[in-house]
Structure 1
Amino acid sequence: MNSKGPSLVDLDTTERASSRRSLLGLGGIVAAGTAVAIASSTTAAAAPDKPTNADRIALNAALRLELAARDLYQQAAAELDGDVAQLASVVAKNHGAYAQAISGATGISANERNEDVFNSQRSLFAVSDAQAFGAAARTLENIAVATHTALLANYESIDAIELTASIITTESRQAVVFTSLAGFASNLDEMLSNSAAPLELAGGAA
């Protein structure tokens, strides 16, 4: 599929923005504001730099969620065509990169995905239709954002807070891209809101 105008995979809002990119930037600002507010309240006290044992348990659950998301997008990329396939591949790499970042911060190997998340979503990502893929991806990104936000409120260390805040910001922007792809580009409520409930992840969930 050959798209016209800015590529769907361009998530860089530092350039002069089109209407779509302006919305992506706004979505990122909303998410960043939420994350910073939570992080600020947590770091008001003297927080340790490195993840605590409690942080590591929760971060391990977050890592497994990121690996499940990576594999779902890799599956979708094999089914889709053109720009949308490229978008799925880029977002798969983003989720994989965050899993590796969590691994680096905690020392936990990034080799075990959340099978419950993967299996519950895999049929939704086994599609060749761009709009259907957008709907599935939008739901997954919003769930991931809600889950990371819930986990963020309980982190004790600066590293865990800052890493999770960066994940929330990027995944919120991705959710806006997919909401547009799903057919809601003209609906600001759909584009900029997230009503998803956080997952109850084993070992440190919301």
Structure 2
Amino acid sequence: MNSKGQSLVDFEPAEPASTRRSLLGAAGVVSLVGASVAALSGQSAAAAPDRPTDEDRVELTEALRLELAATELYRLAAAELTADAQVVAAVMADQHRAYAEAISGMIGLSSPGPNAEVVDQLSDAFMTSDAQAFGNAARSLENTAVATHIALLGGYDSIQAINLTASIITVESRHAAVLTSLAGFSSNLDEMLGNTADALDISGGAA
């Protein structure tokens, strides 16, 4: 699994609001998901399969591995953090694990293991006792995950894959907003509402 753009660990300091930032807030994500689902469902709602197709399963397996990687990273962080930041990390680990289990149940696949490349790239950044540093690392992960799920959404055939992915996108966009605030950018609307992360290229499967 390779990023189409910058590395997951290419953490640059936040800049002041500028035209290079795309404004994509939580409401924008919800609208995007709704429009995507409507377009996909509307083209042939009666003919759309309910259960994932074989093609869906290939991509959903990689989405599952991404969710398992996020779970592992948040557990690493929870072991290092204290107070409220530790609670945030633990809750997000549970939520990513729940999505991994939902995907696994939908495609009938036991855990294939986390995406090792994502874990390797981000484990050092997540193993910190500094809440702000954790927030910065985690918001990058969430934004990348959102971008990846949005990219996958348009390729799914089945109603189940579309609906579950839409749910994941909405919740993980909220994760990103919470973590961006924790990272110290609560007064920067471009950082709070923007997502310029690249989707991971999982079309060929993860290494």
- Alpha-carbon offset, residue 76 of structure 1: 0.2
Deviations 1:64-100, CA, capped at 9 Å, x for gaps: 0000000000000000001110110000000000000
Q: CA RMSD in A?
A: 1.4
Q: Which runs of 4+ in 1 moved over 4 A?
A: 202-205
- Alpha-carbon offset, residue 30 of structure 1: 2.1
Partners in 2 of 1:167 and 1:43 — Cα distance? Answer: 18
- Alpha-carbon offset, residue 33 of structure 1: 1.2
Partner residue of 1:175? 176
Unaligned runs of 5+ in 2: 1-23
Report the count of equivalent residues: 180
Is contact 1:138-1:178 (8 Å) kept?
yes
Unaligned runs of 5+ in 1: 1-25
Is contact 2:68-2:97 (8 Å) kept?
yes
SS of 1:163 mapped into structure 2: helix
The amino acid across from 2:172 in the alignment is E
Partner residue of 2:8? none
Partners in 2 of 1:174 and 1:119 — Cα distance? Answer: 21
The amino acid across from 1:79 in the alignment is E
Q: TM-score, normalised by structure 2?
A: 0.84
Partners in 2 of 1:131 and 1:202 — Cα distance? Answer: 33
1:56-205 to 2 correspondences below 5 Å: 56-201=57-202, 203=204
Is contact 2:56-2:157 (8 Å) kept?
yes
Structure of higher RCO (CA pairs closer than 8 Å, 6+ residues apart): 2
Partners in 2 of 1:99 and 1:203 — Cα distance? Answer: 20
- Alpha-carbon offset, residue 28 of structure 1: 3.2
The amino acid across from 1:33 in the alignment is S
